[in-house]
Amino acid sequence: MRARQRIPARIGQGILVALVLTVSVALMALTTEGSRARGQGQGKMEASILSYDGKDFNRTQTTLVTEDGKSAVGTKLDHASPAYKALVKKHSYVGDAEVFGRKYDADYAPLIGDDGRLTGALFVGVPK
């Protein structure tokens, strides 16, 4: 009988991130192609990786830019947003989101460590 090997947390979380992003990208691409075919939507997908410090979700990597055109790295997810409210409960959020004055069809997924602690989140969105 073979013993099961456990994937180290960092590698496991990396695999999870890659899987979530791959699935999200594929779904958003399908949605975007369908919107483009109907003449709706702008077709540019945005994505962010956010870290969680126990209070705030901070954008550590992102394609988003602020209203003044600067990179949104280092900015925080608005506490009043439905995404924030879902993520702090370790739930995903799929729906409308307004980020830096722009509206998106959005998907936020929590990142949870082996110890059950919330460590961050992923965001993928297509502009409306």
CA 68 to chain centre: 22
Q: What is the pLDDT of residue 38?
A: 42
* Token pair 């947003």 in the structure block, residue: 81
The dihedral through the CA atoms of 30, 33, 38, 39 has a sign that is positive
Closest CA to 72 of 100, 113, 101, 30: 100
3-state helix, strand, coil in the chain (%, to 5): 25, 35, 40
Position 15 confidence tier, pLDDT thresholds 50, 70, 90: low
How far apart are alpha carbons 88 and 72 in whole angstroms?
21
Q: Six-digit token pair at 68?
A: 């003044």
Q: Which residue has the higher pLDDT, 91 or 43?
A: 91
How far apart are alpha carbons 7 and 14 in whole angstroms?
11
Q: Which residue has the higher pLDDT, 36 or 114?
A: 114
Please give the share of the chain, as a percent, with pLDDT higher than 70: 66
Q: What is the pLDDT of residue 14?
A: 57
Q: What is the pLDDT of residue 111?
A: 93
Position 44 confidence tier, pLDDT thresholds 50, 70, 90: confident
Question: In the CATH hierarchy, which fold is given to the domain comprising 9-127?
Answer: Beta-Lactamase (3.30.450)
Burial 83-108 (b: 16+ CB within 10 A, else e): bbebbbeeeebeeebebeeeebbbbb
pLDDT exceeds cutoff 50 at 103:
yes
